[in-house]
Amino acid sequence: MQTSTSMAWCKSSLVMGVGKIFHSAPTIFHFRNDAPGHMQVGETFTIEPMLTQGSIDDVMWDDKWTYVTADGSLSAQFEHSLLITNSGAEILTV
């Protein structure tokens, strides 16, 4: 979890389900919230946070894939895929 006061999470970046449909349910926020729901055994999903040194607002480019911060500040985004199992979560990417 991000703890530096000079950086922030871009809050539109979400956890996405992985299945027959790309970017499927469940959709879960990367920050503390009161949204209902929880992960189910057998679900596979991605964690895709975007950490920024400036604005938490983002802009999608015309390619409908690339996101940048609204103020052009530096940011970093990474992704991991996880599978929920009976004993916890298995990381599928390294």
Task: Provide the β-strand partners of residue 13.
Answer: none
Question: CB burial class (10 A; 0-12, 13-18, 19+) of residue 75?
Answer: buried
Q: Model-level pTM?
A: 0.62
With a cut of 80, say whether residue 87 has pLDDT above it: yes
CA distance 66 to 45: 20
Q: What is the pLDDT of residues 22-72, one digit of tens each?
A: 666 667 776 677 877 778 899 888 887 888 898 888 888 999 888 888 999
